[in-house]
Amino acid sequence: MKKTVIAMLLILLSLSPCFATGVKEEQPAKTASYKEEVVIGVQSKTSGTNPTSQTSVAHKILFNLTHNSLVGYDEKSKEIVPELAVEWKSSSDLKTWTFTLRNDVTFHNGQKFTADDVLYTAEYGRTASNATVKSFWTGLESIKAIDDTHVELVLKTANLDLLYLISNEYFAILNREAVVADATKGPDIGTGPYMNKEFYSGDYTLLERFDSYWGTLPAAKYLRFRYLPEGTARLAALENGEIDVCQAPNNTELDIIKANAELVLNTYQTTALTFLALNTEDPVLSDQNVRLAIAYAINIQDVIDGAASGFAGIANGMWGFFQYGYFDDWKSVGQSSYATNVETAKQYLAKSKYPQGATLKFTAASSWTVNALQIIQDQLKAINIKVEIEQVDAAGLSRKTTTGDYQAIIYSVTFTSAGSDSARIFTPGNSVNYARYNNARVNELFNLAGSDTNDTTRKAKYKEIQTIVHAECPYVPLYYANSGVAHSKKAEGAVYNTSGNHDYTYIKVAK
Amino acid sequence: MLRYAMKRLLLMIPVIIGVSFLIFFIMDLAPGDIVDLKLAEEGLTYEQTEQLREAYGLTGSVFTRYFSYMLNFLKGDLGTSNVSGRPVLDSFLEKMPATIVLACASIFVSIIISIPLGIYAAIKRGTFADNASMVLSFIGLSIPNFWLGLMLIIVVALNVSWLPTGGFTKGIASVILPAITVGTGLTATLARTTRSSMLDVLSQDYLRTERAKGHKEFKVIMKYALRNALIPIITIAGGQFAVTLGGAVLTETVFSWPGVGRLIVDAVNSRDVPMVVGCIILKSITIGIVVLIVDLLYAVIDPRIKAQYAKRKRKTA
């Protein structure tokens, strides 16, 4: 009996390779001086290969490789660059946009790219599962193909930032024939330098070079994105050569990377702004003086040291430092930055309806934000503001912000470089306006700036918005966390962007 | 025995109804839903949310939604993930092979360590060896899985480069470290059960008879004592196997193991109700079948139980 049981277990165990889901690793061609397959260890899971279905950075990295939009955005030069459209022009009222398309592009299924594919993408987008995508395409007044290489988009309202918006990977152009033939796999077909070969959610995504790509061909034949959620394990995989690139290593392990001569570490300040949103509809926090008292009582450097292991840069305003129209010269407008000053904080509190202090509940949705709140909780004791900390998960936090059932929350937002993107946190009706802020003048200025083609006056409008918001303090800007990418010193050619949307198109790893 | 198996399988129907309703109800009580998450992630306006809730079938009372879900379930439709848009059954089946391999390998590791350890401790009862064996097994139970996993990665995968750090792409080599991690935790309970079960058996008269017949001590222990001590051991091992089949979330995370555990946890975090409910129903069915197989194994091991089944059969005939 015992022998039988042991034999059965041995058989089961020996069958395990049959269950293994990965592809058999192919040997790289001996003629190449670079590895045929480059492996990138990522910390975030991807849940699909349809570019119109997901908007997170983890997905955008992949869609940037498999698909093209009409235009792209170069984070280094901060400029819109041609992709499937070689040139574009807008009418003087910024409502009608005409794009001239490339005529040398083929999709991964061999179909030639034409204006009809843009029309189909719009048609498909109107029923997309992703609301951002659906909202844009349904919001168009009209779209028409002038001929095979010219498309005309007519907007309902003027939008100077249209090109920034459609440069996002989730506005990738799909192929009509592919999607009509297979609604599930069809959207995987793009015009990018790599094709989707295998996708195994929660394990890996394998891309294969598209040899008929319209641009310069990448060096690596395969790119494999391996999902390695645990930071230490991800770094170990890099150190022993299982992966070539390790995205977002743990801050506490950066010294290990620096000490390893075989590895290269790239660190950068991300564009994710972490802030404390103060609910302006709350009875206590509707008092501007209480909000300002909180802002001045917080020592941001201590928060960075405690919650981000010191790896972050102080944010000096609620407008991204990389965004169009950024302004932080507060002295020039008779204001000051929220640099820690407990005496100033006390003065603001004394002017408020709560001179003796107050008890507030702050909400967070992750362990690191709880750490930040614990430090803030301690700092606010100095001005007699007692803070209770409540932790919920992401969905719970979102429900609270929908219903307004909170006083203050700590959160991070990654803005695009367009100034208009800040409307998300400053104007009513937007999901990340966690301060529930509503200022008529600010709303008006965003509307005016959206169609203002004059650079100087447009920047002046954005400056005025920032000045008003800084004075009223619905948010306390905290920091921009640092992040990094570690890679083998044999790896080169990748472009690491501060938004985290890295470009691996031309990565290559010497053998 | 067939009748018994059929009866047990039929008993799974109320279990499935109970489990699915409980999960449905708890998911409904949890703050926030998938639309709330999308609201933040996709920068939606509040006006768009109700439209989305309608599309995801999140409107109406929890009872209405549950009834509708179960109607589809009876037609064999476990629903579609609200996150990936894929059928729940496809996602579950995709992850199940990795989970089965890990569960089999873990229980194998557990058995090959714990049974010899438990037998040895029972034979050497009260000695230093007995105490040392039990201390060892307790250490195994006390070490947190995630810590042990990381240490194994650093030592075995990184320092000596014998095995991969994780994933499920290199066959048997991939499964060794995760199996040791999960198996070590299971070992303590199984070793202790083996020891106490063996102690009960070792004091029985029939073993003295076997020894008097001149059988070697090794044969007495392994053939006559162990077989009679196996029932509680198999009960515990079967239960552990069933639990491991439900997913070992921490180990799966540390080793990037694409199993069912992480699938369910991810679905809970993203409030993907069809995925959570569907996976838990399938998990319940799997566990129910494993427990049934364990019960049926009793009859294979113990002729007295087999005789009872036969007696019942004769009575009903």
The domain spanning residue A406 has which CATH number?
A: 3.10.105.10
* The pLDDT value given to residue B315: 65
Average pLDDT over residues A221-246: 94
Residues A307 and A418 in one domain: yes
Average pLDDT over residues A336-343: 88
Residues A150 and A38 in one domain: no
Domain boundary residue among A140, A175, A210?
A: A175
Of A21, A47, A398, the CB nearest to B36: A398
Distance CA A289, CA A292 (A): 5
Distance CA B38, CA B50 (A): 12
Residues A294 and A369 in one domain: yes
* pLDDT value at A79 more than 90: no
Domain ranges of chain B: 94-264
Q: What does DSSP assign to residue B80?
A: B
Distance CA A501, CA B1 (A): 60
**B171/A contact by beta carbon, under 8 A:** yes
Distance CA A39, CA B86 (A): 26
For A7, list phi and psi in degrees, rounded to 5: -60, -40
CATH number at residue A504: 3.40.190.10
Mean pLDDT of chain A: 89
B-chain CB neighbours of A400 within 8 Å are: 31-32
Residues A322 and A413 in one domain: yes
Residues A304 and A441 in one domain: yes
Distance CA A267, CA A483 (A): 6
A176, A116 contact by CB (below 8 A)? yes
* The pLDDT value given to residue A182: 93
Search chain A and give the residue with CA nearest B173: A17
How many Cβ atoms are within 10 Å of A161's Cβ, its own excluded?
18
* The pLDDT value given to residue A87: 95
Instruction: Look up the domain containing A356 and give its range.
Output: 271-481
Ramachandran region of residue A223, left (φ > 0), alpha (ψ -120 to 50) or beta?
beta
* The pLDDT value given to residue B290: 87
Identify whether A138 is part of a domain: yes
Residues A372 and A309 in one domain: yes
Of B45, B97, B153, the CB nearest to A233: B153
Residues A475 and A496 in one domain: no
Q: What is the dihedral of CA A131, A137, A139, A142, to 10 degrees?
A: -170
Distance CA B36, CA B21 (A): 23
Q: Tell me the per-residue pLDDT of A121-139, one tens digit each, with 9 for 90 and over.
A: 999 998 887 777 887 888 8
Dihedral angle sign, alpha carbons of residues A411, A412, A413, A419: positive
B61, B28 contact by CB (below 8 A)? no
Residues A60 and A87 in one domain: no
Residues A45 and A152 in one domain: no
Identify whether A86 is part of a domain: yes
Contact B45 A1 (CB under 8 A): no
- With a CB cutoff of 8 Å and minimum separation 6, the contacts of A252 are A309
* pLDDT value at B308 more than 80: no
Which secondary structure element, helix H or strand E, spans residue A457, and what is its range?
A: helix A455-472
Search chain A and give the residue with CA nearest B39: A431
Identify whether A3 is part of a domain: no
Q: Which comes out higher in pLDDT, residue A450 or A263?
A: A263
User: pLDDT category, B313, cuts 50, 70, 90?
Assistant: low
Interface A-B, measured as beta-carbon pairs within 8 A, has a size of: 186
**B155/A contact by beta carbon, under 8 A:** no
Distance CA A370, CA A391 (A): 7
| B183-217 exposure pattern, b = at least 16 Cβ within 10 A, e = fewer | bbbbbbbbbbbbbebbbebbeeeebeebeeeeeee
Task: Give the minimum alpha-carbon distance from B13 to chain A in angstroms, rounded to a whole number.
Answer: 29
Of B43, B157, B271, the CB nearest to A431: B43
Residues A56 and A72 in one domain: no
Contact A16 B37 (CB under 8 A): no
Contact B270 A395 (CB under 8 A): yes
Average pLDDT over residues A285-292: 96
* The pLDDT value given to residue A19: 38
* pLDDT value at A219 more than 70: yes
Identify whether A17 is part of a domain: no
Token pair for B84 = 């990936």
Contacting B residues, span 77-136, partner chain A, CB-CB under 8 Å = 83-85, 91, 94-95, 97-98, 100-101, 104-105, 107-108, 111
* CATH architecture observed for domain B94-264: Orthogonal Bundle (1.10)
Of B31, B45, B167, the CB nearest to A430: B45
Identify whether A24 is part of a domain: no
3-class SS of residue A392: coil
Task: Give the minimum alpha-carbon distance from B95 to chain A in angstroms, rounded to a whole number.
Answer: 9
For A88, list phi and psi in degrees, rounded to 5: -155, 155
Distances (CA, A) of A90 to A71, A149, A152, A155, A168: 14, 16, 10, 11, 19
Residues A47 and A137 in one domain: no
Q: Which comes out higher in pLDDT, residue A296 or B36?
A: A296
Residues A460 and A508 in one domain: no
Distance CA A410, CA A307 (A): 12
* pLDDT value at B103 more than 90: yes
- Inter-helix orientation angle B273-301/B88-123, to 10°: 40
**pTM of the predicted structure, to 2 decimals:** 0.82
* The pLDDT value given to residue B228: 83
User: pLDDT category, A22, cuts 50, 70, 90?
Assistant: very low
What are the DSSP E strand ranges found in A18-68? 37-42
Q: Which long-range contacts (CB under 8 A, 24 or more apart) does B85-94 make?
A: B85/A48, B85/A50, B85/A53, B85/A129, B88/B274, B88/B275, B88/B278, B88/B279, B89/B278, B89/B282, B91/A201, B91/B263, B91/B275, B91/B279, B92/B260, B92/B263, B92/B278, B92/B279, B92/B282, B94/A21, B94/A200, B94/A201
Q: Tell me the per-residue pLDDT of B294-307, one tens digit each, with 9 for 90 and over.
A: 888 877 777 777 77
Task: Give the minimum alpha-carbon distance from A133 to chain B in angstroms, rounded to a whole number.
Answer: 9
Q: How many domains does chain A have?
A: 3
| DSSP alpha helix (H) spans, B203-259 | 205-212, 217-219, 226-245, 249-254
Identify whether A183 is part of a domain: no
Contacting B residues, span 13-32, partner chain A, CB-CB under 8 Å = 30-32
